[in-house]
Structure 1
Amino acid sequence: MPSHALFAILEPDGSTSLFHSRWRGGLLHADLFWGAEAMLDTIRAQDAVDAIPGIVDEVWCDGGVVLDLRARTALWFGGWPGSSIPARRLHHAMLSELWPGWALRWAHEGIVDLVRAIGGDIARVIDRHPLPPLEPRFELDGLTGCVSVRNATGALAFWPIAVLGEESGRLVLDRLDPNESLPTLDFAEWTDEFPDVGLHIDHAARTVELWCAHWLPDHDRRLAHAWPGWQTRWARDLFETQLEATSGLLRFPEPSRAALVADVREGLLHDVGSLARWEPRGPHDIARAAARFDAALARL
């Protein structure tokens, strides 16, 4: 199945070079792992294009990198090793060790952030189809996040959820059955997995705040449009904002450092192995990757 990726190099002379891959989008973390020079070589080896291909939009683009050679910055999104925001943060800290002299940033809006960084038209890559509505449910399988609501009197209530689409907006309030709410929520009692998304609604302040592990294109505008008359804030991946807003009544699992290291290491080496099979002449080697991983980890 295709996994499209867009690459852009902001050259020292001020020009922009564009490249496209039909399959690399979900494996960029394994490319980035080898450092700036290797990443630059990998990008230049992809298909050069004069403009962003039509297939590269928020639906079909699974990853991308913008390398600014003058500012020495790398803006990227795509697959990451591990299965949670804490794992991604560990991976990002490790990448920073492996890219000395560079600043790496996660593109929270995915392809939109990349297009914006190269001065392109973001309307060209935005999908206008509605997202799925909220479906509160209590089954273990598929549990990914929660909605927390502080009512006008200050009381809090929680709903574990499996699907959350911000386009549903105020319909969320109609779908939350008070009889299925919880006065407190400890995620560790429901699942070992770290949540992916959270929505906090405060009726008295008329505020709505959303965080999410995944990139969400054009999300500030979409969230505001979905909640007219409310003050909205997209907190990117800062799940801590919901914990702070819920007075200690909401708790998320706290994975140990050893568990996070194992999670990231396993995912990274697996995907390095995949690239090694597809590109035997490339830099990807599992033994070298394991040694490089351990050396970078020791410096954190």
Structure 2
Amino acid sequence: MSILSIQNLSKRYGNTKALSNISLEIPRGSIFGLLGPNGAGKTTLIRIINQIIEADSGVILFNDSPLSPHHIAKIGYLPEERGLYKKMKVGDQLRYFAKLKGMPGPIANDKVQFWLKKLDILSWQEKRIDDLSKGMAQKVQFITTVIHEPELLILDEPFSGFDPVNAEIIRNEILELKEKGTTLVISTHRMESVEQLCDQIAMIYRSEKILDGRLRDIKQAFRPNQFQVQLKTDAPDALQYDPLRFEDGVAEFNVSLEGETTNEVLSRLMALGQVVGFKEILPTMEEIFIQQVKKHTHE
């Protein structure tokens, strides 16, 4: 079941198309990656979902009902351009945002303490935002986004400004939120994060959707039918393949199926030596991303 169903959504700014007939289904309890280069239309789509701007045409359903203002309390949004009040103290700011989302004061206080402890920043609550580093402020912004326990969480470049250690902390929090039933939409340029986190992705380019589906299905669809082989042999020079490396009597090289089955290729390889490794090469999301952008650039 989809928590969010986007149907034929379009938006223009003057003569510029921002979104062209976009349709997406975001499954409940999933992590959905929204990909595309700058200017593709991702931010416009996110702003329409958050009801910051209106679409020119199309429909968005939230839990099978037309998206409306009362759904805002069920959505959490972490914008790429962060929005904290720099002169406010951390604790006061978190309580303020929690109350804006409709949380009663005592519950808001409890949630603030819970999250400050969880992210190991309890000692920061009397600090002002402008006394924090960018990474520290990012943690505070993350808490403001999740503190009201939204059903749908939209994160725009959530790892921006984090060092590797804190990026890992936020990554683990994202996975834990998913386990608890939260649906997450992540807009990011970091393809390694997509590989690690996302169940499904959609790619938008020049206002149009050019790719959509489950991550594993997309990677399978773009597989080049190549395999990495490790072959133990006494005569590497006699191989018909150029080894990528040869170490301790083992040659490593790539082979293409080229109409053969894997069994046929393995049979031919075993005649050349002992096959000690045979692994399919699957493209990374970064390779697929670059390939699709180049393809649609020249269309």
- State the TM-score, normalizing by the size of structure 1: 0.31
Whose strand proportion is higher, 1 or 2? 2
Larger Rg belongs to: 2
Greater relative contact order structure (CA < 8 Å, 6+ sep): 2
